[in-house]
Amino acid sequence: MSSPSIFERIEKAREFLKEGDYFRILTHYDVDGVCSAGILAAYLLRNNKRFHISFFRNSESPKILEIVEKSEYTVLTDMGSSLVKNLKGKVLVLDHHKPAGDNDEILHINPHLFGYDGAKDACATTLSYLVVDDPTYARFFMAGVFGDKQHLSGFSGLNEKIISDLKIDIVKDLAIYGSVLNAIVYSTDPFFPHLSGRPENVEKLLQKLKISPSKEIRELSENEKVKLGSALSLSLIKNSKNPEAGKMIVDIDANLGGSARYLSELIDAAARTDNQSIAMAYILGEKRNYEKMEILRRDYKSEIISAVYDMLENLFEKSHLQYFFVGNTYLTGSVSTIAALYLLDPDKPVLALYKGSESIHISARENRKLAKKVHLGDILKKVAAEFGGVGGGHNVAAGATIPHDAEDNFLEKVNSEIEKCLS
């Protein structure tokens, strides 16, 4: 008997959503988690179904298993594959992280089980969209894909299939938004050393280029775009340790009644600052929340930029990794990504640590070249478990939570594991 295809399980997931009347949706707190849960919730709302959504930072939380046990119908998005062997009952898991196996007692959909790469071929939002299969939610599908950085090497796998089927207009443009001055000052991806967070330096640059700081990026002439893009690209080349950084001023985007990449940044700002409900309400139709997310984005970007400059002054290194501390748990992922993509030694993974009241939260990042040898998700999962913590994720991006007293030994062991991979 042949193994089921991912599309057979997708079809079963549709039947699952039709079957129940009330669903407990448990999801990760980031963009992919919010968008994947949001698409399902919007679909349920349209079909007069009831639901209750909860957001989690740690996908290994005992609270998750407790909720699943008490609920008749449960959906886990952007998490759940690491717990799959402990789940039973009417449970749907839509996850793209490396699974701990499969489980016939539940409905488990993970691209890794069907020959796809969960780091680039499909995220949780991809799976939610395939289940719902409604172009109304196409822009949230794209926002999830951009938020999970699955566009960096071009679209592939299930992402590419959906984009092709929907004939989504993929464009290349400057990867900054808003008025020219604010677009550069608040830019974190790309991050411009000496320009991001430095309005006086940006004003000098724009004066030199004879471009009005109050002009909107989308209103620039082609000549102005070329001039600005070239100047910013040159700045990245001069001030970044990534030889590819100069290319990052131009990025692909999806035009779906507005920039999907920008929408992803808005949802990310709400998600990372524990305002997931604002983003979720927007997905469910509360259009006024768009402006609220724009305010959150500006404030969040300011925090990130401040933390990045602080990181550059307070960096620690071991033979095979670099690490630093941040003041808020929601900054770990963003600052470690910027550090790995633009600012630090590209031959060493980057770890950002936040010391919480009960434990230490860690985000690890590296570039795709290094990821061919070093799987950060596997390393953090293995080492965190040795010290009574939890960890996991993809090769390029991973996370962990460990006890306070494990910090030094954890870092030493991670360094040792990276060394083994490289040798």
Please state, in angstroms and rounded to a whole number, the distance separating the CA atoms of residues 337 and 343: 10
pLDDT per position as a tens digit, 208-222: 999 999 999 989 999
- The listed CATH number (1.20.120, 1.10.8, 3.30.70, 3.40.50) that belongs to domain 170-254: 1.10.8
pTM of the predicted model as reported, rounded to 2 decimal places: 0.86
List the domain boundaries for the chain: 6-152, 170-254, 314-422
Residue with the bigger pLDDT between 206 and 423: it is 206
Residue 2 pLDDT > 60, yes or no?
A: no
CA distances from 242 to 102, 301, 346 (A): 39, 21, 6
CATH topology classification for 6-152: inorganic pyrophosphatase (n-terminal core) (3.90.1640)
Residues 254, 240, 423, 420, CA torsion sign: negative
Residues above pLDDT 90, as percent of the chain: 88
pLDDT per position as a tens digit, 344-399: 999 999 999 999 988 999 999 998 889 999 999 999 999 999 999 999 888 899 99
Write down the H helix ranges in 288-406.
Answer: 289-313, 332-338, 368-371, 376-386
Q: What phi, psi does 74 have (nearest 5°)?
A: -125, 140
Structure tokens at 237: 């080349």
Residue 58 pLDDT > 80, yes or no?
A: no
pLDDT per position as a tens digit, 149-195: 899 878 999 999 999 999 999 999 999 999 999 999 999 999 999 99
pLDDT per position as a tens digit, 220-248: 999 999 999 999 999 999 998 888 888 88
Its CATH class, for the domain covering 314-422, is alpha beta
